[in-house]
Structure 1
Amino acid sequence: MVGSKSATQDVQALKVDLERIKADVLALAKIGRDPGDHGIYRMAFTEADMAGKRWLSERIEDAGLQLSVDGAANISGTLPGDDGDKPRVLIGSHIDTVPCAGALDGALGVIVGLECLRTLRASGVTPSRTLELIAFSDEEGRFGGMFGSQAICGQIHPEWIQTHVDTDGVAIADAMTACGYQPMDALDAARDPSTIDCYLELHIEQGPVLDALHRPVGIVDEITGLFTWSVSFRGEANHAGTTPMEMRNDAFMGLADFAHEIPRILAENGSERSRATVGKAQILPGAVNTVPGMVEFSLDVRDTSSMVLEELQTSFRKALSAIARRRNLIFEFEQRSYLPPVSCHQKVVAALLDGAKQLEMEPHVMCSGAAHDAQVMGTMVPTGMIFVPSKNGQSHSPAEWTAWSDIEAGANVMLKALLELSK
């Protein structure tokens, strides 16, 4: 990458330009912002998402990087390396959002990646390995997955494209076509793993840990796996006034019993990184004066160990079955999704820790309790993640924010790691 001792010293002294990062964060945040609730609405394959992609493409070209777009609508900016035969290093995240989002989720990782490559190019540094920034399509799962990174990893197939729809029934194929893309071209986005050395991603934590610890940077060692179930208890709807308590088959009481069982199951079968959440429930028929005959609810369970996840699946199923027998209910469930946990690669974690050490920071080593593109990429290539604090743990909200000083710290750790990994 460099020759003389003085050149090496100059490279080691490189820092990102925080003012450029600020300008990019604030500019991108204007795209899709609602003036009423101040949230950002840049959902995948909408007009705002396309405007964001155009903005990013312009910034990539302004930085003197090579712009490309693949069949899954992933946007790339490439800084060519000296040795074209070496597998490249990818840096990425996403710029699509959930409805009523904040300015940083996903977008910060793309902007920091852009700034790192821009800093290297502006300083005249040519890495040995090619470095590629990639902004993945639909990380937020409008169409029920992480479309862009799954396409890169070869996990998309024709049936996936033909059958995946959003909550309004809009098919991803129709949404892509409306935006000028050929849906089946997404199959051509798959990469050969041998061409990629590793993948890095910077992201806001989306939780309260770093903020509570007053640490500017977290280094992720594991990314949680998860399964989600759609669960139902079916009992018997009956009159609330004439049906004695001991003669009821009350479906809601089944859910109430189960809610109290969750802490016990996690304590006995989980780990300190286990999480279980009932986030959605519907009581039917939903009348004030009727004993509930049906309750439907979601169950979201997470852990960084696939073995623990298996044990939790078994334990939750047994608990639900036992409650159904005791309450004279019928229990049914359907698994809606499963993501395997991913361990970040030792080589990448070491480079990130070393980068923090060079900057005299004390990072917090932690797991990611949320899924990211890094989780998908980690199934194919070595992966690493940097977290920066979320103020008060807030995310997926207009209140989402991170101190500029913490953003600068995380970006410089990324830059140091890239200098090491691109050799």
Structure 2
Amino acid sequence: MMLKVNLDRIKSDILTLAEIGRNADDRGIYRMAFTDADIEGKRWLTDRIHAADLDCRVDGAVNLSGVLEGKSDEPRVLVGSHIDTVPCAGALDGTLGVVVGLECLRIIRESGQAMRRTLELVAFSDEEGRFGGMLGSQSLCGHLNPERLATMKDLDGVLLQDELRRHGYDPLGALDAARDPDSIASYLELHIEQGPVLDRLHKPIGVVDEITGLFRWSVWLRGEANHAGTTPMDMRNDAFMGLADFAHEIPRILEENGSERTRATVGKAQILPGAANTVPGLVEFSLDVRDTSEIVLEELQTAFRKALSAIARRRNLMFEFEQSSYIEPVKCSEVVVRELSEQATKLGFEYHSMPSGAAHDAQIMGSIVPVGMLFVPSKNGMSHSPSEWTAWTDIEAGANVMLHTLVRLANDL
């Protein structure tokens, strides 16, 4: 008999978890990492893992696991995502991958089939980066150190170590969450696309081939604040005009140095002194640049520096920047990509090969083990919003593709 997920059980889990951290006023979900709502969500998931008769484990980074033991001690197959949210979130980002992973393990256990490899569901801590990184997957991959753990804080200045202690956890325990890469055969993740491509193509499945890398800069253009009425136009050192020039340069830079997968965004800007009758003396803005090629990212860094330097010279401004983050792009495992594609075809679902433009735990995991990702459509491309949604039929399709891929990876490959 062909295995098939129980959609009603998936629905129930998603809708129940969505009420943990729900705000009655805006209907958004507020389950940010290590808030009381996040810890309540972890308790709920722990109960669901126990109810599925799976071995439940928690590591020092408070990553929560459900384990279905295999017949051998060969490297295990991991599947998962996260249940923490951004503020005012929707019901599916991260949660879908955890709930579907749990359902896949439940179905396999209930079928009585013994897998050769152990299968493990992982719900990672703080994927949304409340404390400036992806704590759970970075801990598992051994990317953290004591100094960083001691200094990680959120935008309100709350220290990660204080939040962990508040809930009874040892902050340094995250260092013990690191695993031997040789103990893991692969990591898989099902996620909503968070973009409009699959919805517009009317395809239920996206097979991710690459996960984008990114660099993020804070940029300062310093000019001279002066009176808006008495300073002639040709005698101004207007910092805002430097930003305006740069904004118009972005399409040219992407055309000359980027690829069809490049994205560049100025998402935040501050003009100072910020008075209507004053020539701007300082502009601070963010620059977020993404591509699936590390070489392209390097070329873009050079091109953006040159463009900003030239604009600063022309406008008589000072240019400074600071790189606030850099994440390397990750190529998904060809073996896993092929298996996901074949299972989608066997089950009769059209799929689209595509990159992931957002960062995920799979990106961090890809630094030490083979990874694969599966997307399902986001209605109107909406995410990080109470409007975020995916049709149940698409969720069922993605879940069944994941189920059959996990069975293959756990037994045959």
Do Structure 1 and Structure 2 share a fold, with TM-score over 0.5?
A: yes
Could you tell me which of 44, 57, 65 is aligned with 2:46?
57
Alignment of 1:340 with 2:328, yes or no, is yes
Stretch deviating more after TM superposition (347-356 or 402-411) = 347-356
Distance 2:397 2:403 in 1: 10
Kindly indicate whether residue 282 of structure 2 is the aligned counterpart of residue 298 of structure 1: no
The residue number in structure 2 matching 1:5 is: none
Instruction: Tell me, yes or no, if structure 1 residue 44 matches structure 2 residue 40.
Output: no
Partner of 1:365: 353
Find out whether 1:273 has 2:261 as its counterpart: yes
Displacement of 1:147 in angstroms is 0.2
Residue 126 of structure 1: how far off its partner (Å): 1.2
The alignment of Structure 1 onto Structure 2 pairs a total of residues equal to: 411
Secondary structure of the residue aligned to 1:422 is helix
| Equivalence for 1:390 | 378
Map of 1:210-359 to 2, 5 A cutoff? Answer: 210-359=198-347
2:127 match: secondary structure? coil
**Alignment match of 1:201 (pick from 185, 189, 203):** 189
Q: Partners of 1:360 and 1:203 in 2: how far apart?
A: 20
**What residue is the counterpart of 1:72 in the other structure?**
61
Which residue is 1:414 aligned to? 402
CA separation in 2, counterparts of 1:372 and 1:20? 25
Q: What displacement does 1:160 show?
A: 1.0
What is the CA–CA distance in structure 2 between the aligned matches of 1:156 and 1:72, rounded to whole Å?
Answer: 11
CA distance in 1, matches of 2:318, 2:302: 18
Q: Which amino acid aligns with 2:330?
A: V
Match of 2:169 in 1: 181
TM, length-normalised to structure 2: 0.99
Letter aligned with residue 324 of structure 1 = A
| Aligned counterparts of 1:324 and 1:103: Cα–Cα separation in 2 | 45
Q: Which amino acid aligns with 2:36?
A: E
Shift of residue 360, structure 1, vs aligned partner: 1.2
Deviations 1:204-238 (A, max 9, x none): 00000000000001000000000000001000000
* Letter of the structure 2 residue corresponding to residue 280 of structure 1: K
Q: Give unpaired runs (5+ residues) of structure 1.
A: 1-9
CA distance in 2, matches of 1:299, 1:73: 32
What is the distance in 2 between the residues matched to 1:319 and 1:171? 37
Distance 1:177 1:388 in 2: 37
Question: Which residue pairs with 1:128 in the alignment?
Answer: 116
Partner letter of residue 114 of structure 1?
Answer: L
Q: Which residue of 1 aligns with 2:70?
A: 81
Letter in 2 for 1:377: M
Give the whole-Å Cα distance in 2 for the aligned partners of 1:379 and 1:362: 29
SS across alignment from 2:38: helix
- Structure 2: segments with no counterpart, 5+ residues: none
- TM-superposed CA distance for 1:347, in Å, is 0.7
Q: CA deviation at 1:18?
A: 0.2
Q: How far off its partner does 1:63 sit?
A: 0.3
Runs of 4+ in 1 over 4 A off after TM superposition: none
Measure, in 1, the Cα distance between the counterparts of 2:118 and 2:19.
32
Kindly provide the amino acid, as one letter, of the partner of residue 122 in structure 1: E
Q: Percent identity?
A: 72
Q: Within 2, Cα distance between the matches of 1:20 and 1:87?
A: 29
In the alignment, which of 89, 102, 109 is matched to residue 114 of structure 1? Answer: 102
Letter of the aligned partner of 2:92 in structure 1?
L
CA distance in 1, matches of 2:259, 2:64: 38
TM-score, L = length of structure 1? 0.97
SS in 2 for 1:58: helix
The 5 A counterparts of 1:156-175 are 156-175=144-163
Kindly indicate whether residue 7 of structure 2 is the aligned counterpart of residue 18 of structure 1. Answer: yes
